[in-house]
Amino acid sequence: MDSRTFLYTTYIATTPERLWQALTEPALTERYWGVSFESDWTEGSHLVWKQGGATMADPEQVVLSSDPYRQLAYTWHSFTQAWAKGVGLSEDVRAEIAAERRSAVTFDLEPQGSQVKLTVTHDFDPAGALHAMCSQGWPPILSSLKTLLETGEPLPAR
């Protein structure tokens, strides 16, 4: 096997359109994730990631798949020193994860009556440390997304 994969499925009382909006609109992603994106969300387009006061723009940060209301996939962000400082990560850890093969995340949306089944798949470098970090990070992010869409408010910041 040439990768390690994080796989998470949740069911959200929402529509595919509203979930897509929550995955792509900066004002919404900022509320439940603390991250905002700049992209036109078409396949091959660049993706600018903003978090912790840092902006990560890199030619390898791209939208891999964009099928509105069904699937969204993109490569993960670059690990800059400004980003690490903004999120409180040591330079040693930042350098370690920056040396890994770039990972990618896919969001699959499937209507299920009055809910949407959301499956998140994140593929990683098999020898890297990023897998453990993101595997701990994704569940609270996705729980906050679900809570935001179902109640109007994200979970309180940790």
DSSP assignment of 48-107, as one string? EEEETTEEE--TT-BEEEEETTTEEEEEPPP--HHHHHHHT--HHHHHHHHTSPPPEEEE
Average pLDDT over residues 47-73: 94
In this prediction, residue 1 has a pLDDT band, given cuts at 50, 70 and 90, of: very low
The percent of residues above 90 in pLDDT, for the chain, comes to 79
The percent of residues above 70 in pLDDT, for the chain, comes to 97
Whole-number pLDDT of residue 157: 80
Whole-number pLDDT of residue 127: 78
Average pLDDT over residues 14-31: 98
- Mean pLDDT for the chain overall: 93
Whole-number pLDDT of residue 3: 62
pLDDT at 2 exceeding the cut of 70: no
Average pLDDT over residues 118-141: 90
Whole-number pLDDT of residue 129: 87
Q: What is the pTM of this model?
A: 0.93
Average pLDDT over residues 146-151: 98
Residue 99 contacts by C-beta under 8 Å, 6 or more apart in sequence? Answer: none
Q: What is the dihedral of CA 14, 44, 125, 4, to 10 degrees?
A: 40
CA–CA dist 107, 88 (Å, integer): 27
Average pLDDT over residues 100-126: 95
